[in-house]
Amino acid sequence: MADDDELDDDEGEEEEEGKSGGGLKLILISAGVLVLIVGGAGGAYMSGALDSLLGLESADVAAEKAAAEEAALPPVYYEFPELMVDLKQTTRKRRSQFLRIRVVAELAPKNEERLKLIEVKILDGFQTHLRGQTREDVAGKTGTDKLRAAFLDIVNNAMAPARIEAVLFRQIILQ
């Protein structure tokens, strides 16, 4: 019987060791799984994979969406008043040379109010530029292209940071 008591004691010790070892294993496995889940979620968040699920968008994506919405709207054409300007003389002729021009700006609808507010500044820039030009400077296709580029710069500098898309000429008359 003494042998039976010793065997019972040995079995009790093994059962106690098994119970405490199982609890430790469960804690270690749970901690490992938790670390993997947290690490995976953190990695997915940092890489941007969760942005669409969380409703977050990068600045680039938001800017692209805004540009696409803006591009969907048709452009607005704003017509400036007719300008009549005397051109710079290259010789001592008695008769002055004049340029009569009607300019139209193509722009996004959101920029129309800004353009109306600074129209006087833009017209002054147009006249100042034109008074420095000679007849030869504005004649022909190259002259028209130079005027278009100069007017585009004048308007865009005045409207910064807003921009216009194009400058169109409704009428150009050299006298």
Digit-coded pLDDT (tens) for 86-128: 888 877 766 788 899 999 999 999 899 999 999 999 999 999 9
Backbone angles phi, psi at 123, to 5 degrees: -60, -40
What is the per-residue pLDDT for 16? Answer: 54
- H/E element holding 169? strand 164-174
Q: Would you tell me how many other CB atoms lie within 10 Å of the CB of residue 164?
A: 23
- Looking at 50-163, which runs of residues are DSSP E strands? 76-79, 83-86, 98-107
In whole angstroms, what is the distance from residue 167 CA to residue 150 CA?
10
pLDDT at 1: 52
Percent of the chain with pLDDT over 70: 78
Q: Is the pTM of this model over 0.75?
A: no
Please tell me the distance from the alpha carbon of residue 92 to that of residue 95, in angstroms, as a whole number. Answer: 9
1-38 per-position pLDDT tens digit: 555 555 555 555 555 555 556 788 888 899 998 998 98
Please, are residues 130 and 144 in contact by the beta-carbon 8 Å criterion? no
Helices (H) and strands (E) in the chain, counts: 7, 4
In whole angstroms, what is the distance from residue 20 CA to residue 6 CA? 22
Kindly give, in sequence order, each residue whose CB lies less than 8 Å from that of residue 90, ignoring residues fewer than 6 positions away. 134, 135, 136
75-174 to CATH, choices 1.25.40, 3.30.479, 1.10.10, 1.10.3470: 3.30.479
- Angle 55-57-48 from CA coordinates, rounded to 5°: 90
